[in-house]
Amino acid sequence: MIVGLLMLSSTITSLTVVLIVFFLFKEGVAVFEKKPVEDGYTIVINKNNKVRKLTSEEIKNIYDQKTTFWSQLGAKHDSIILFRVEDIANFYTEDQIGANFENLPSCLSSIVDSIPGIIAFFPEKYLAKNFKGKQLDIDKVSLKEFFGGEEWYPTAQPSAQLGVKPLILGTLWVSFGAILLALPLGLAAAIYMSEIADERIRRIMKPLIELLAGIPSVVYGFFGLVIIVPIIQKIFNLPVGETGLAGSIVLGIMALPTIITISEDAMRNTPREMKEASLALGASKWQTIYKIVIPYSISGISAAAILGIGRAVGETMAVLMVTGNAAVIPHSILEPMRTIPATIAAELGEAPSGGLHYKALFALGCILFVITLVINLTVEFVSSRRKGGNH
Amino acid sequence: MKNTSIILAFVLCANFTYSQKLKGSDTVLPLAQKEAESYMKANKNAKINVTGGGSGVGISALVDGTTDIAMSSRKIKLTEKMKLADAGKSFKEATIAFDALAVVVNPANKVSQLTREQMEGIFTGKIKNWKEVGGEDLQIVVYSRESSSGTYDFFKEHVMNNKNYATSVLSMPATGSIIQSISQTKGAIGYVGLAYVEKEVKALNVSFDKGKKFVGPSMATAKDKSYPIIRPLFYYYLATVEKTVRPFVDYCLSVEGQKIVETIGYVPLTK
């Protein structure tokens, strides 16, 4: 009976995990079945224009007026004339369009027909049956565009830019920096507390460190923004203090209690006989720690590292406040960065459910999941090999 | 007879406790909330629910019929009008207040005025150094709101001529963090609502006529419309429910209602 209950609860837990992962990937992968142009909209050009296809980047450059001549896209030398459906007011009066937009399709059709350099963006249902222009062919979001693209403008009209490279790199830089700061510091603190500090100091320090884990992440974020950001700006003489490093430091502090408590517990589990045997053989205290305690507790230490990294990769609010969130490819840790969790948190609220932006954010979630999985597997693999070698 | 009176009482009750729902823009939210509170204080029977979510959310709720009034910090889009027309609904619009956006920099910055074209250059990333606009040799650090914010869209449409922000723009989750960051970053520039301008940041004078006349943001210049970066705040409601929502809308437009507008930090309507 009890065995059954225990089994049931573990089955439910694993099932939930599988379900969540399934849901995440189902929503995320769907991004590749969508076009970067909003559902129900179309982009048209004059029928004499030779251009047939534009990538979403080309469309964005056109609408940002960076590309201003069709000749830059391999067609005749006409300057590009932008048209959004709101611009119809410059061509026709409201009476001509009709109260319920019944004449809109024919108006649009004749505008597109009369201007050779036009590119127009409007809802597909206002495409007249005998439309005199040409609809542009737009590809679905491709894997190459998604992972190789360097611009993240999920709400850009008419064509969204979904390059996740800056976000992935930002996440990796910030988490890597965090773990680089937190792991040595955390391990040193754990060794001190489990092996060197006497009981009285330990009794004071341990609850203090555990208290760190209980502080809400917004508080860390605010602390980072007000204290750490200006310090970094001053020390490195930067134009801006909101950098990846600020994120790393805040995340490092947040990961510390996890790393310290778990690895300290593991170290304290080293059998007393082993330590005493080592000391009796003439090993110094440091040799005992290095040769006996650490190897014995390595699996606990790696678990601490995994959980610490997990916290760093997935942390949202604190990072959102201190890293500046600029979606650029970072070249050093002293630049503003945008991480995946911060992006999801900041944008999911306004993304229309089921739309392209929404699916793209889920795809980001999938990427985050894969990153954590890979880190966990690597650490697991490394630590199990180390252990095997020592015994 | 007894039954009828119970039913009658019930209907009356239901009528009196019928709660109006307002949904939409987070910019309008604090104003609508305050208006609703004092309206309910004055009319004990009235019940008004105000929720946020963004202008787009409010208007799509109006199309679905899940709200009585949609609050919006921008004019209804043509595409949204089309959706309403498709659903066979006609709507009414009421301007309830104005909101001025101030372009702010660090107080140590010597630049005190910018033209619209210069701001477009700065926010799209074409202008990268303050010396290009008459300041010292210092890199410009641009702060903006997140893309989900209505303010982000308004600034893009109104000041940046619909061009996209540069990728290097730092986006902050809230107005408070923009102020905080600008106050501690020397080369910073950003935009915030007029109500948020404090002495930690310096508001710039702006010109929308290529540098002929520069105007600084203040309640006075916003009221007489000489300050150009100003947007109306709207209520949208269906013509069919006009009778039920009109009293509240009228209250917002009344002298008393407009007084609340000013205490919240928005610009009251001028008559």
CATH code of A73's domain: 3.40.190.10
pLDDT in tens, A282-320: 988 889 988 889 888 888 888 888 888 888 888 888 888
In a domain? residue A18 = no
Question: Measuring CA to CA, which residue among A102, A134, A95, A164 is closest to residue A357?
Answer: A164
β-pairing, B69-72 vs B188-193, is unpaired
More confident residue, A15 or A155: A15
Residues 6+ apart with CB under 8 A from B212: none
Collect all residues of chain B within an 8 Å Cβ-Cβ radius of residue A40. Answer: none
- Same-domain pairing of B172 and B255: no
* pLDDT confidence tier of residue A386, bands split at 50, 70 and 90: low
Q: pLDDT for B36-80, tens place per residue?
A: 999 999 888 888 999 887 777 788 888 888 889 999 888 887 767
Number of separate domains in chain A? 2
Check CB contact under 8 Å for B188 and A229: no
Mutate to test the interface with A, among B138, B177, B178, B200 (most CBs of A within 10 A): B177
CA distance B216 to B204: 6
For residue B24, the distance in angstroms to the closest alpha carbon of chain A comes to: 12
**B184 to chain A: closest CA residue:** A230
Is the pLDDT at A81 greater than 70? The verdict is yes
- Give the rounded percent of residues in chain A with a pLDDT score beyond 90: 27
Interface test with A, best of B59, B137, B141 (most A CBs within 10 A): B141
Tokens linked to A336: 């503003």
Contact criterion met (CB below 8 Å) for B136 and B162: no
Angle (deg, nearest 10), helices A298-314 and A165-191: 140
Higher-confidence position of B13 and B101: B101
- The pLDDT of residue B14 is 47
Q: By the CB < 8 Å criterion, does A325 face chain B?
A: yes
Whether residues A311 and A211 share a domain: the answer is yes
Residues A104 and A173 in one domain: no
CATH code of the domain in which B199 resides = 3.40.190.10
For residue A123, the distance in angstroms to the closest alpha carbon of chain B comes to 8
Measured between beta carbons, the chain B residues lying within 8 angstroms of A241 are: 184-185
**Which helix (DSSP H) or strand (DSSP E) does residue A148 occupy?**
helix A143-148
A339 vs A376, more confident: A339
Tokens describing residue B131: 């010396």
Give residue A160's pLDDT. Answer: 86
From A41, which residue of chain B is nearest by alpha-carbon distance?
B79
Cα(B109)–Cα(B143) distance, rounded to whole angstroms?
15
The structure tokens listed for A122 are 């409007």
Residue whose C-alpha is closest to residue A109's, from A91, B199, B160, B210: A91
For residue A198, tell me if it sits in a domain.
yes
Does position A78 have pLDDT exceeding 50, yes or no? yes
Task: Note the pLDDT of residue B176.
Answer: 82
Flag whether A152 is in a domain: no
Average pLDDT over residues B258-268: 89
**B184/A347 touch (CB, cutoff 8 Å), yes or no:** no
Are the beta carbons of A328 and B164 separated by less than 8 Å?
A: no
Residues A115 and A194 in one domain: no
ipTM given for this complex: 0.76
Predicted pLDDT at A391:
45
pLDDT, position B132: 92
Q: Are residues A177 and A129 in the same domain?
A: no
Does some domain include residue B270? no
Q: Tell whether B271 is covered by a domain.
A: no
Q: According to the model, what pLDDT value does residue B142 have?
A: 93
B130 located within any domain: yes
Same domain, B62 and B116: no
Establish if A159 belongs to a structural domain: no
The secondary structure of chain B in percent helix, strand, coil, rounded to multiples of 5, reads 40, 25, 35
pLDDT band at B128 (very low <50, low <70, confident <90, very high): very high
A226 contact residues in B (CB cutoff 8 A): 180
Nearest chain A alpha carbon to B126: A66
Indicate the average pLDDT of chain A: 86
CB contact under 8 A, B82 and A101: yes
Nearest to A333 by CA among A255, A251, A257: A251
Residue B218 sits in which domain range?
Answer: 99-223
Q: Which domain holds residue A376?
A: 165-390
Residue where a domain stops, chosen among A78, A109, A141: A141
Return the exposure string of A369-385: e unless at least 16 CB atoms fall within 10 Å of the residue's CB, then b: bebbeebbeebeeebee
Nearest CA in chain B to A222: B177
Task: Examine the pLDDT at B115 and tell me if it is beyond 90.
Answer: yes
Tokens 């005025």 locate to B113
Q: What secondary structure letter does DSSP report for B191? A: E
Chain A hits for B141, CB-CB cut-off 8 Å, are 239-240
Banded pLDDT at B112 (limits 50, 70, 90): very high
Q: To the nearest whole number, what is the mean pLDDT of chain B?
A: 85
- Would the pLDDT of A273 be above 80? yes
Report residue A238's pLDDT band, with 50, 70 and 90 as the boundaries: confident
Pairing type for strands B91-105 and B113-115 reads unpaired
Nearest CA in chain B to A339: B171
